[in-house]
Structure 1
């Protein structure tokens, strides 16, 4: 129990000292040997008696100045009275004058009076040691009864100030027992000393005597109430304070009396009666934590949980047992208010403090229980807490209940990996724990697979087979392991797992048994085993299982398998089947159907099919291919006119198509056949100028040579060839032999040897006829072998030879390398150029994605958002890329402070993605709400993030830091601190931990500034003749 009144009483006594230090008029005592004074001395004495000390001092100084004899009685009398005047006037030299008088007249009869004056002078100046010393030199037998009372009171008070309580008590008790002027204040200090000594009954008796005193009657009620409280006389206390509190009328320390009355009722369980007293007491500044707790608990017991929370919140800041109790009761208040998330955090806080064993146990159990019920376990603490509970309290009556919760947490948690680590620590797992382990491992594998981390996913699917409790989960694990190996490119392993699935008990009862055929078909297809792939795809289609889109895709692959096997009639049927489904890539099916019709000898059918494609979908990505194939078909049908038309459309409508060079060549050949020799010659030369390599212009050069020979202009041909920088007729044959040798290694996939051979060629012929080819092939080999820094110069050299057939692929590789190196400006340039020249849909997509990412990295949010719009509508973009594009577009809106639009876009990303992109989008949804001042909505978004994306620790930590900011805005410092502390305790990213710590320190510093000490109420104890205490 804290004691209020030792400091209170000290303050009262100190205040009293101020009053006591004021001079009490003492009439000057005339000496017995008084004789006739001179007229001046008599006049000065008269002024002194009238308390005109200034004028009297002036006259007395004149008397002293006129009498040269220092021992003259008149001068001595004048010096004495002048010193007294200095005391009465509070002159700075008053003490010096008194001491000087004693030094000058040690035998004078006034010396005793001067010593008494020096004692009082030291007392007035609060020089307690000096006052005690002078009091020892005072002849108390020479004092009048009134002076003796004053002497003993002030001597006792000086002892009191020097904390010599026994001596003080001896002096003051005698004064108290008298009837003089100082009896009442002496009674007050004697009672106070007994109070400090713990003699409560004696103190109470003394204070009771002062209740009716005009001056002390307003001071002693606080003492009396405190003593009754300490004595446990609560009923008597209530009866005593009731009339006081109804009409305080200037009673001192009334807020303390309210507190005592409130706490007395609190201790007896009369919470409703205690509340009004405690509320009034709490209105003062600087209320102590213990008083806050009592008020909070009183609100709690009277059912006002919201107000109770406000008080407990102020108490829970510490780390002591009181803070633990406050946090524990806060948790229960939150529960009663239906705010379980807050309750969970409060129980966690109470558990972490660990002061009271019983409270700690109950807090731990309830924290873990709530974490389970809410499925809210951001840092896997529920499992840890429950395991700690079972370990720490093995004999608890709630053991079975806790174990049941633990099992359910394992089964419900989405923090799979952490849960598995916990289960791995349990050596002997029962069947239910084994089932939990299997499901957790499988779910983690799926999560990794969706994040395209196929190698890691396969490991977790393998772990799911460690405890094969559930047969359906076994089958799913085999299936997704096969899919993971396929995604990783390990096709033989994928096939083995598909076979394992088909041989697994329970697999046949699932759709996966048949759907696996689709995966097997693709695996064989990737391994170029088209016969087995065809069989697998056809079996899958025949089952009618899987999604319609998958079946349509399988039909396309069946057509591809027949196409590769040159079974063109069967291929046409397969592509027709795919087209009839109405799903899948219809353009591809129609184009391939036309090609296969031509290969099957049905030229008319091919023309009809391809024309239908162009008529129905003129902007098809296969438009250039279809036009080129039509041109080729008409050439084979000896119809040069329509052939030239379609070739011309390829050149004019699709300038970046890989068919442009061949189309230009075919048009020139048609014109040559038509006898338009000069036009043909010009067109052949245009091809050479555009594709200025030997390989790129070989056929055109041959045609040019033939024309010049026909015209008998061989010398002009030689002159023309000499203008070409890439052809040196004198070395062309040797150049070609060196190059062809190196080229053969490249096309045989002997990259390591090809790198050396191509390098030798480039060293020998740096400007050779095949230099561009050699640079690209060497760069490609270096790229494929992971030597990106070495590959980049070769690829960039090809890029600088603008217009070659390698331009697109060189830009693709160079842009990717620059991006990976963090050279975003350069990468952006290459991606922009790639988008302009790309004919491959995948390269177009790569360019758009690359531009989007580079712009984002360069901080150009608005430009990145515009680039993202292209990715979002690209049919070749998968779900993850579309989600990424949506995320970047949302960031663009956020950058422009278009908060509602940004929120809608971020929300769309979370709908489409369950991986890191979704987690990031969900974080930004919370951040947008924070920026809008919709803090409660922001809080909900953070909770939702933790539930849906528990494995993404980075965004989880950032969300919690944001949640701390939100709680600060909501003025809930308790939750803010608990949230930030969880980041500090669990996050593994130093930067984020530092951010959380910085915010936590700021909150603590702010709270420290608000801790205001209770003001000291100045209580003056007036004395007789000084009723106002002034």
Structure 2
């Protein structure tokens, strides 16, 4: 039993030894794997190392080996940026809470994130470390790295506490002091910052940054001498990226020390933040130039300050205004002072800017509001200012300079004094002339009457002269004569035509004796006005002609003919008529033939042919008469003589016994010109023919087809018409209208329907119900060419023009042009046709008629200017700028009022196109100074000025002008939109170099 037990024991022991040997061998392999994993880890083969560490952890029986393997597994996860890395570290701590590697794990993870510049991540793990479990060096490392992580995470106070523990450390002390000083700098604790950073001023690593902060602190502390000294010392060796900011600090330090000559070079070297300056940067440099009296350079900086709204901007704009004045750029100064006056950051600057703005508005004109309003606004704002007296003195003159005569009159009425009352008479004269030129004749009369009360003889006489002129144009010829007669001293420009005007006033009253006297007096004066002299000679001839002194009449006409002057065709015609009236029919025929030969395009040619035919008829030369009449019908088919000629041709054929041909002519008159007097005579003559040939039944059948013939009612028709006509001839307008209306009601197609309609149209036209004349004139013109059709066409066209109804007016004007014989009507037709076609955007036709008008030698200045402006505007619309420029240039010397404003705008426009920007601005200023009341053209020209300034590199002026247009002139939608577009373009460009500009504003 003993051996048996021993054997069993021995077997068991041997078995244990065998198992223990096997376990030892396994553990030895695990240890080897762990060491291999460590080697892989140290060689940064983290993926392979992690796989082995996991295997060791799962298979080892040693707790310490498992702890180490789990530790390194977690470290590998961190190194490999695995998504569960943080969890692995936390799991390690949880699994091995008493491991000495716990703090190391936290520290290592923190260090890893620290090395990869992930401050917030590193802080998370550093905060888990228990410093008490770290040795001294580890604690220093932790404080340094944790301090830096806190710094970059903007936890300045906590970071300072960490760095404070390291300030004397040989390893971390220098870095810690720099960061400690930097944080103090950021906290604006400049004393503490300077104490620390000054110790690093010569440190190779930190001297650049330390000195920069020392420089900046000196500047911010107001130690400008010290800042300039430090800056100049470090600038030469500073890093390139710091030089711009250092130069800015040095420059601004010298600026604050008022050493502007030293400030300028450094301020100029500043490159801005990301290449952009601020308005304040431009101000410093601009003001430095200003103090150095380099005004052009100062302007170049100040004018880059756009849309500024602070005290710096107000001061900049004020000094910009002063610089412009020094550079003799008053218009530019006006804008700058206006801008400064609109801010209240500095009341002293505001008041002085207001004063300069008011004065410059008076001197240069104001595009934003009337100059008097600017001056009155100043007086209201600063009633106690020592400058008020000076501004008050400029106020009246400003009204006159702006041609705001009504404004001056209103002001004088509210500020009466002996001097002002005397001045009121003179201003009333100017206002009256202004209204006269605007063709507001009735409104001008009372102003001229006031002028006649003037103490000054020249003003009084001018008042009488213009009063007479106005009455003349209104048809009050007797009043015109009376006013002309009261002129005691005709020593003024207008009065050189006094005799001519007096003569015409008498002529219009048919007082031919007085007319003759004054026309002769005028001609004796030998005034160098050929057209007026020719006209006076013709009217002198007409005066003799009207008083049957035909010999003298022919002498006057012959003078015009011999000199070949304007109206020679008329003189030739009147001479012929005079010869006829003294019984010399041969001379009459000769004169008429001469007219037809010498003036083939004359409006009197059809008159001459008609008279020639009539004269031949009276001489019994029917063949020559027929020839003359046929030529008239062939060459002047639209002439008013056509119905009379046809009637006379019929009579000639009737007298020769050619009844058939006579009837053809009579019926042609009735068919083509129904309701005309000639048609009625043709019916009567046809009756005689039918009676002669014994075919009364045929007459009866034919006459039934003629609407205007009512044989049975003819006596009543005649009686009713004559009653109305008598009232018309007596100038009893009310009864005449009633009578003609009654006649037309009872005889709408009566014998006298044409006359009744025409006279009724005239009565309505000359009364207060002009438009009521429309159907009556329409009736007349629908009757074809007749003795009234030309006048009816002119009046009906005028009525439609007053309503701006071009669709109805244009066909009438075209017909008037074809049928008219009176020069005045032709000019009226052609001048309005050019306007009508322009209005309808038919520019080629507008140009055609404008050219026709200009070729007429009998047009007045106003009509000629209208033609030139149509040609100019049409050229603009068709982009023919060369032609437009020619016509606008031609108008420049004679145009007045709004037309002058338009010509000045285009003068500026063309100069801008030619890149003559300064000259263009001069023309704009001329417009603003003298024609600002025509606001549309003023605003339009100001857009040109803005473009000019931007081309001249004055962004301030350009944007200020455009911004004011956008704010103040919303009533002009097209100009407002154009200004907005230009403003946005400029701001977008300027925002590339000025960070103070918001291009989206």
- Name the TM-score class by shorter chain: 0.7 to 0.9
Which structure would you say has the larger Rg?
A: 2
* Cross-structure match for 1:42: 35
Question: Equivalences for 1:855-870 in 2 at 5 Å?
Answer: 855-870=837-852
Partner of 2:814 in structure 1?
A: 832
Structure 2 residue 691 is the aligned partner of structure 1 residue 709: yes
Per the alignment, residue 876 of structure 1 pairs with 858
2:186 is aligned, of 192, 196, 203, to 196
C-alpha distance in structure 1 between counterparts of 2:399 and 2:777, whole Å: 52
Q: CA deviation at 1:140?
A: 1.4
Q: Distance in 2 between matches of 1:220 and 1:75?
A: 51
Separation in 1, partners of 2:351, 2:150? 53
Matched, 1:472 2:472: no
Greater Cα offset, 71-80 or 851-860: 71-80
Give the CA deviation at 1:869: 0.3
Can you list the C-alpha shifts for 1:687-735, whole angstroms capped at 9, x where unaligned?
3333233622233333322233223333333344345454354555555
Query: Which residue does 1:348 correspond to in 2?
Result: 338
Q: 2:65 matched to 1:74?
A: yes
CA offset digits 1:547-566 (Å, max 9, x no partner): 67556645544554555455
The answer for the alignment partner of 1:894 in structure 2 is: 876
CA contact (8 A) 1:458 1:481 kept: yes
**Structure 1 position 184 matched with structure 2 position 174:** yes
CA distance in 1, matches of 2:54, 2:481: 125
TM-aligned CA distance change 1:121 to 1:482, over 3 Å: farther
Compared with structure 1, are the counterparts of its residues 561 and 760 closer, same or farther at alpha carbon in structure 2 (3 Å cutoff)?
same
2:438 counterpart residue number: 451
**Rounded Cα–Cα distance in structure 2 between residues aligned with 1:599 and 1:76:** 148
CA contact (8 A) 2:680 2:751 kept: no
For 1:76-101, what per-residue CA distance to the aligned partner results, in whole angstroms no more than 9, with x for missing partners?
22112222232334433322222222
Assess if the C-alpha contact under 8 Å between 2:962 and 2:983 holds in 1.
no
- On the 8 A contact 1:444/1:460 being kept in 2, the answer is yes
**Is 1:277 matched up with 2:259?**
no
TM-fit CA distance, 1:744: 5.5
The equivalent residue for 1:53 is 46
Paired position in structure 1 for 2:136? 145
Q: What does residue 22 of structure 1 align with?
A: none
Q: Distance in 2 between matches of 1:745 and 1:673?
A: 38
Any residues of structure 2 matched to 1:835-846 within 5 Å, and which?
835-846=817-828
**In structure 1, what is the Cα distance between the partners aligned to 2:494 and 2:839?**
42
The residue number in structure 1 matching 2:20 is none
Report the Cα offset of residue 115 of structure 1: 4.1
Q: Distance in 2 between matches of 1:745 and 1:921?
A: 51
Q: Distance in 2 between matches of 1:534 and 1:974?
A: 67
Deviations, residues 594-620 of structure 1 (Å, cap 9, x unaligned): 434544556566556555545554544
- Are residues 1:885 and 2:863 paired? no
Match of 2:946 in 1: 964
**Residue 280 of structure 1: how far off its partner (Å):** 1.8
- Does the 8 A contact of 1:514 with 1:540 survive in 2? no
* Compared CA separation, residues 968 and 241, structure 1 to 2 (3 A): closer
1:99 — aligned with what?
90
Measured after TM superposition, the shift of residue 147 of structure 1 is: 1.9
Higher relative contact order (CA 8 A, sep 6+): 1
- 1:883 is displaced (CA, Å) by 0.8
- The alignment status of 1:217 with 2:199, answered yes or no, reads no
Q: Which residue of 1 aligns with 2:638?
A: 656
Q: Does 1:308 align with 2:298?
A: yes
SS state at 1:219 partner: helix
- Tell me which of 890, 906, 916 is aligned to 2:888: 906
Describe the SS at the equivalent of 2:342: helix
Do the aligned residues in 1 keep the contact of 2:370 with 2:932 (CA within 8 Å)? no
- Following superposition, the deviation at residue 285 of structure 1 comes to 0.7
Find the aligned partners of 1:174 and 1:606 in 2 and give their Cα distance. 133
Q: Does structure 2 retain, via aligned residues, the 8 Å contact 1:811–1:834?
A: yes
Deviation at 1:206, TM superposition (A): 1.9
Which deviates more, 931-940 or 336-345?
Answer: 931-940
Q: Which moved more, 1:665-674 or 1:251-260?
A: 665-674
CA distance 1:798–1:140, shift in 2 (3 Å): same
**CA deviation profile, 1:463-506 (whole Å, cap 9, x unmatched):** 6568x46432232133223323433445565456446545xxxx
State the match for 2:249 in structure 1. Answer: 260
Which whole-Å CA distance do the structure 2 matches of 1:464 and 1:806 have between them?
42
Q: 1:656 to 1:314 in 2, by over 3 A?
A: same
1:18 maps to what in 2?
Answer: none
Determine whether 1:64 maps to 2:57: yes
Please give the secondary structure, in 2, of the residue aligned with 1:175: coil
- Contact 1:377–1:413 under 8 Å retained in 2: no
Q: Secondary structure at the match of 1:38?
A: helix
Candidates 319, 325, 328, aligned match of 2:309: 319
Deviation at 1:448, TM superposition (A): 2.8
CA–CA distance in structure 1, aligned partners of residues 995 and 83 of structure 2 = 36
Matches within 5 A, 1:128-527: 137-160=128-151, 165-180=156-171, 182-248=172-238, 250=239, 252-282=241-271, 285-302=275-292, 304-374=294-364, 376-378=365-367, 381-389=370-378, 392=381, 409=398, 412-421=401-410, 427=415, 431=419, 438-462=425-449, 464=451, 468=454, 470-491=456-477, 494=480, 497-498=483-484, 501-502=487-488, 507=489, 510=492, 516=498, 518-526=500-508
The CA deviation string for residues 891-947 of structure 1, in whole angstroms up to 9 with x for no partner, is 333344332222011111222321333333333333344455554554343334334
Aligned counterpart for 1:952 among listed residues 927, 931, 934? 934
Distance 1:501 1:384, change over 3 A: same
Q: Is the contact between residue 262 and residue 273 of structure 1 (CA under 8 Å) also seen in structure 2?
A: yes
Work out whether 1:979 is the aligned partner of 2:961.
Answer: yes
- Give the C-alpha shift of residue 49 in structure 1: 4.1
CA distance in 2, matches of 1:384, 1:787: 41
Out of 70, 76, 84, the position equivalent to 2:75 is: 84
Structure 1: 5+ residue runs without aligned partners? 1-34, 1015-1030
The equivalences for 1:913-952 within 5 A come to 913-931=895-913, 935-947=917-929, 949-952=931-934
Q: Does the C-alpha gap of structure 1 residues 841 and 864 become closer, same or farther in structure 2, counting only changes over 3 Å? A: same
CA distance in 1, matches of 2:613, 2:41: 138
CA distance in 1, matches of 2:769, 2:116: 91
Query: Which SS does the other structure have where 2:893 is aligned?
Result: helix
Q: Check the 8 A contact 2:673/2:784 in 1, yes or no.
A: no
* TM-score in terms of structure 1 length: 0.83
Q: Distance in 2 between matches of 1:243 and 1:161?
A: 30
Equivalent runs, 1:439-838 vs 2, <5 Å: 439-462=426-449, 464=451, 468=454, 470-491=456-477, 494=480, 497-498=483-484, 501-502=487-488, 507=489, 510=492, 516=498, 518-526=500-508, 553-554=535-536, 556-561=538-543, 563-564=545-546, 585-599=567-581, 606=588, 610=592, 613-614=595-596, 616-636=598-618, 640=622, 643-693=625-675, 695-729=677-711, 732-733=714-715, 776-785=758-767, 791-796=773-778, 798-838=780-820
RMSD: 4.1
Is the contact between residue 296 and residue 311 of structure 1 (CA under 8 Å) also seen in structure 2?
Answer: yes
Quick check: 1:261–1:274 contact (8 Å CA) kept in 2?
yes
Which deviates the most, 333-342 or 141-150?
A: 333-342
Deviation at 1:870, TM superposition (A): 0.4
- 8 Å Cα contact 2:801/2:809 also seen in 1: yes
Deviation at 1:736, TM superposition (A): 5.1
Question: In the aligned structure 1, how far is the partner of 2:463 from the partner of 2:968?
Answer: 31
Aligned residue-pair number: 968
Pick from 990, 995, 1016 the counterpart of residue 977 of structure 2. 995
Residues 745 and 722 from structure 1, CA distance in 2 versus in 1: closer, same or farther, beyond 3 angstroms? same
Distance 1:138 1:300 in 2: 63
